[in-house]
Structure 1
Amino acid sequence: MARIVYAMEQEISLERESVNEVESFKYLGTVISNTGSLDLEFSAWNIRTLQEVTNTNRLERRTALVCKELARFNIDVVALSETRLPEEGNIRESGKGYTIFWKGKALEEPRIHGVGFTLHSQLVHQHNLAPKAISERLMTVRIPITLNSHLTLISVYAPTMTSTDDDKAVFYTQHDHTIQTVPANNKLVGLGDFNARVGKDHRIWEGIIGRHGIGNCSANGQLLLGLCAEHQLVLTNTIFQLPKRHKTTWRHPRSKHWNTLDYVLTRDRDRGDVHITRSMPGAGDCWTDHRLLISQLSVAEADCQRRIREAQKTWWQRKAAETQSFATNVTCAASMQQQRKYSVPHGHQWAA
């Protein structure tokens, strides 16, 4: 009897948990597309510097100009490279609706490198987001998708070809460790300036490079491909058939040739969630030789998730009702059995 009542309580508790999950299923201020999916707009942008120059006639700060461009493309999350700002900090561009986070070298060190995130301020306040700086080349942020899962983003600014082998080894060791700390059930997106050309050999690097890569592979590209192979990551730039101007992200200062150095990576199992990854030649002049790289990712299927949870709720309600009915019948049967056990048979006299 006690076990039956306990089972009934457990099923009712599970039903309540299912209902609570439906109520707390927050979607970050994302938009529902025509296909019913919940999408986020990501981008990676090497902006060369966020430092202000005193001898300029610009009416707006550099951070404001960058945010203005991001708002024009309706981007939710941006990985910034080569910010060149010292220490660690953040600034809110309230007029543009974005908050910029950065991590740079110490104040007394040269103003080089630097990495950061620009997040839509609504996301920051709704989910109390606080990016975590790993170094002046790596930064992460976790965004809740459902009650029990997150989207982990890694903003990257990798060493250039002229960097020392030690610098490259330190960076890729840190990057490898950062990826390992991401829970397996989390969606993972790495984006930024990897300073690497991966080429187009999709047969050798099957599952990592798609059929639409360009150019040749560099030494840094080999390092990046090795990291992707170890963690089953796909270079989403290479899986879409696009004009070359929408694949390349950086122009060589001497040859004037365009190359791809900026990438958006995700787990191979989630490649179907990426709708598009492309560069934007139309992005405004923000004193950078890198094009803005944009990627659209489905973080959940809205209608599918809703139908599943409604079915779960209905099922738990029906099971709770059946369990309650069964427990009531068992209780009545047990009560009748107890009455028969201790009742005096007709014509029987108790002994004196």
Structure 2
Amino acid sequence: MEILGIQEHRIVHQEPIKIEKFKEGVSFVTVSARRNGAGAATGGVGFLLTRRAYSAISLIKPYGSRVLTISFNGNPRLTTITAYSPTKAALVEEAEDFHNTLRQAMNDVPAHHLLITEGDMNARLGKESEEDSRWYFLTRTNRNGELLRDTALECDMEITNIRFRKKVNKRWTFLSDGTLNKGQIDYILIRRKWKNSLKNTEVYNTFQSLGSDHRVVVCKIKVSFRKGHRPPKKVNYDYSALKSDGELQKKYAIEVRNV
């Protein structure tokens, strides 16, 4: 993987955006988590990037503590958004505010960019009708799922998890610690204009050894990164010495004439 979106990392820091470097050239770009009423850290989003992806960055822009955008130089230009939605138990207004922010972030991305949005959306999706032939893990849609569908429709995005035919055990992304119920609440969306660049979306048990109750959702996209070109450095010459030194002026004139 070149880019890994992280949600709810629970790391609190003072910087608006913090960049840490790890072994093997991996960079961790984060927006700080928040402190709740009890003082516990909650939320926070970020990206883990390979050296190649980090060198291609052209823009890093946070939208509050729940949405982070990174753009990359490439062909086509790539912008990816990581997002962490309020839970189903949150206030309706909080969930709506989150989706308004997410829509703003996606609408700010130029139309020619390949746009990918990934995140813990806390959204449960089921079939919209009997004719719906896409591949779901659940049968019913909750309020967050309705908001996610509205956001995808308004921003011309496709929900990739339900596009590919997968076995049932390759669809669920979340395992409740208390009830051991499984759910599909983590999603990757892609701008419809570029959906043919998407080769696959699949779920893996990558974080099982870390004790996370979520599984990793991975999509494979064919895209080419390239570094941004820096303009050539301008060289300024100091000709002030020629104005006060007559002998130097004479030598300079002779050399220029000989050239």
TM-score (norm 1): 0.58
Match of 1:214 in 2: 137
Alignment check: 8 A CA contact 2:124 2:144 kept: yes
Give the deviation of 1:164 after TM superposition.
1.3
Aligned residue for 1:177, secondary structure, equals helix
Aligned residue for 1:152, secondary structure, equals strand
Give the deviation of 1:250 after TM superposition.
0.1
Q: Tell me if 1:76 matches 2:2.
A: yes
| Partner residue of 2:27 out of 99, 117, 136 | 99
Change beyond 3 A, Cα 1:243–1:237: same
Give the deviation of 1:235 after TM superposition.
0.7
Change beyond 3 A, Cα 1:107–1:252: closer
1:7-26 equivalences in 2 (<5 Å): none
Give the deviation of 1:287 after TM superposition.
2.3
Match of 2:104 in 1: 177
Q: Tell me if 1:265 matches 2:195.
A: no
Q: Distance in 2 between matches of 1:297 and 1:122?
A: 15
| Partner residue of 1:119 out of 31, 34, 49 | 49
Q: Distance in 2 between matches of 1:168 and 1:107?
A: 19
Match of 2:201 in 1: 277
Q: Distance in 2 between matches of 1:119 and 1:277?
A: 19
Give the deviation of 1:192 after TM superposition.
1.1
Q: Distance in 1 between matches of 2:109 and 2:89?
A: 30
Match of 1:194 in 2: 121
Decide which structure has the larger Cα Rg and report it: 1
2:146 alignment partner AA:
Q
TM-score (norm 2): 0.77
Aligned residue for 2:154, secondary structure, equals helix
Match of 1:153 in 2: 80
1:121 alignment partner AA:
R
Q: Distance in 2 between matches of 1:285 and 1:182?
A: 36
Alignment check: 8 A CA contact 1:200 1:214 kept: no
Aligned residue for 1:131, secondary structure, equals strand
Alignment check: 8 A CA contact 2:59 2:72 kept: no
Match of 2:64 in 1: 135
Q: Tell me if 1:299 matches 2:223.
A: yes
Match of 1:163 in 2: 90
Match of 1:325 in 2: none
Aligned residue for 2:136, secondary structure, equals coil
Change beyond 3 A, Cα 1:202–1:282: farther
Alignment check: 8 A CA contact 1:115 1:155 kept: yes
Change beyond 3 A, Cα 1:127–1:270: closer
Aligned residue for 1:228, secondary structure, equals helix
Alignment check: 8 A CA contact 1:246 1:281 kept: no
Q: Tell me if 1:237 matches 2:161.
A: yes
Task: Give the aligned CA root-mean-square deviation in angstroms.
Answer: 2.1
Structure 2 residue runs of 5 or longer lacking an equivalent are 225-259
Alignment check: 8 A CA contact 1:251 1:289 kept: yes
Alignment check: 8 A CA contact 2:5 2:47 kept: yes
Aligned residue for 2:42, secondary structure, equals coil
- Is 97-106 or 180-189 further displaced after alignment? 97-106
Q: Distance in 1 between matches of 2:172 and 2:9?
A: 21
| Partner residue of 1:287 out of 211, 234, 245 | 211
Q: For residues 237-258 of structure 1, give each alpha carbon's deviation from its aligned partner in whole angstroms, at most 9, with x where no partner exists.
A: 0011111111110012233121
Give the deviation of 1:129 after TM superposition.
4.9
Q: Distance in 1 between matches of 2:41 and 2:118?
A: 22
Give the deviation of 1:162 after TM superposition.
1.0
Alignment check: 8 A CA contact 1:123 1:129 kept: no
1:112 alignment partner AA:
T
Q: Distance in 2 between matches of 1:270 and 1:232?
A: 11
- Higher helix proportion: 1
Percent of residue pairs bearing the same amino acid type: 22
